[in-house]
Amino acid sequence: MNDVIIIGSGCAGLTAAIYAGRANLKPIVIDGFEPGGQLSLTTMVENFPGFPDGILGPDLIENMRKQAERFGTEFKAGAIAEVDLSKRPFKIATAKDSFETRALIIASGASARMIGLDAERKLIGYGVSTCATCDGYFFRGKEIAVVGGGDTAMEEATFLSKFASRVNLVHRRSEFRASKIMVDRARANDKIRFLTPFAVDEISDVTKNGVENVTLRNTQTNETSILPVEGVFIAIGHEPNTKAFRGQLDMDENGYLITHDGSQTNVPGVFAAGDVQDHHYRQAVTAAGSGCMAAIDAEKFLGALKGV
């Protein structure tokens, strides 16, 4: 029987582990299918406070992991296969292990949707990004592409126009899912060029470890063309990693966990932190902050259970 299990080993989960460890709760962190979360998929992080010269995302995560270990956190590899939150102790199983816990912190994150190209995965952090706020600054004076036709794509294109020499907004249809006001704002921006209806069929050049161009395919005529760009922002949405909790925890229409009074979910003793419950801010520092909140909330909950 454990006091607290934390699902997810990104910024939110590891911060929760540091706090829970320091509260002597001997947390277990289940790594998940993307250990380290989104920070482990990025290169330089320049907006996490405390690092005036920036820090590499994987190094930041590694430091947090060591810090959590120092306070007694145990790490278990693997993703969640089954969860039973119908009564306490909660039951959690991965393919290899099963656990029982009095309190649970869910920090399983949200994964950026990807187009599905091999080059996209290989070049992430090397010209391909899923976060304009994080990486926009690196593309000062450069021509880039933003892929997507929703509000995120419009917002990111508008934000990136502050840095880039030109933003090519590439969308597979000529109609937009984004709200009219966001489309109008992007259209009024003379640094943004709309390219529709185009799919991105390839990103080059993996052999040079950087982005030189994208191959666009007109989805109506199937004609292809090359667009020289130095960066590609994939802005086609995120998927919260909440499948295992469907039917057990309250979620919004996009599958994000709903929290109230800090980090509490609708099941007492189950807390949520980081991107799994936040599709608005999605920053490392806000994820860390909410991980801290979840650990403090879990500690308080356990204290009340034990009458201390």
* Under 8 Å between Cβ of 275 and 287: yes
Residue in 31, 131, 278, 292 annotated catalytic: 131
Answer yes or no: 53 catalytic: no
Residue in 3, 31, 135, 297 annotated catalytic: 135
Which of these, 30, 34, 29, 31, lies nearest to 19 by C-alpha position?
29
Query: Nearer Cβ to ligand NAP, position 94 or 152?
Result: 152
Among 54, 72, 89, 237, binds ligand NAP (CB under 6 A): 237
Residue 239 binds ligand NAP, judged by CB under 6 A: no
Among 149, 231, 240, 274, binds ligand NAP (CB under 6 A): 149
The rounded radius of gyration (Å) of the Cα atoms in the chain is 21
Part of the chain binding ligand NAP (CB under 6 A), chosen from 42-50, 79-87, 133-141, 144-152: 144-152
Helices in the chain by DSSP H: which ranges? 11-22, 57-70, 118-122, 132-135, 151-160, 180-187, 284-306
Among 6, 7, 110, 115, binds ligand NAP (CB under 6 A): 115
Residues 6+ positions from 4 with CB-CB distance below 8 Å: 20, 25, 26, 27, 28, 101, 102, 103, 104, 105, 295, 298, 302
Among 74, 151, 205, 239, binds ligand NAP (CB under 6 A): 151
Answer yes or no: 131 catalytic: yes
Query: Nearer Cβ to ligand NAP, position 20 or 145?
Result: 145
One character per residue 167-186, x = contact with ligand NAP (rule: CB under 6 A)? -----xx---x---------
Task: Write the DSSP string, 39-91.
Answer: GGG-SEE--STT-TT-EEHHHHHHHHHHHHHHTT-EEE-S-EEEEE-SSSSEE
Report, in this order, helix, strand and coil percent for the chain, each rounded to 5.
Answer: 30, 30, 40
Q: What's the rounded Cα separation, in Å, for the pair 114 and 291? A: 26
Residue 148 binds ligand NAP, judged by CB under 6 A: yes
Residue in 134, 275, 278, 297 annotated catalytic: 134
Residue 246 binds ligand NAP, judged by CB under 6 A: no
Q: Minimum Å distance from CB 275 to ligand NAP? A: 12
One character per residue 275-294, x = contact with ligand NAP (rule: CB under 6 A)? ----x---------------
Among 40, 94, 152, 283, binds ligand NAP (CB under 6 A): 152
Residue 113 binds ligand NAP, judged by CB under 6 A: yes
Query: Nearer Cβ to ligand NAP, position 155 or 202?
Result: 155
DSSP state of 129: E
Indicate the SS3 state at residue 148.
coil
Cis-peptide, bond into residue 89, ω within 30° of zero: yes
Query: Nearer Cβ to ligand NAP, position 164 or 169?
Result: 169
* Under 8 Å between Cβ of 84 and 66: no
Q: Which residue is nearest to ligand NAP (CB)?
A: 150
Q: What's the rounded Cα separation, in Å, for the pair 42 and 17? A: 22
- By CB under 6 A, the residues from 30 to 59 that bind ligand NAP are none
Q: Minimum Å distance from CB 258 to ligand NAP? A: 15
Residues near ligand NAP, by CB under 6 A: 113, 115, 147-153, 155, 172-173, 177, 236-237, 279
Active site residues: 131, 134-135
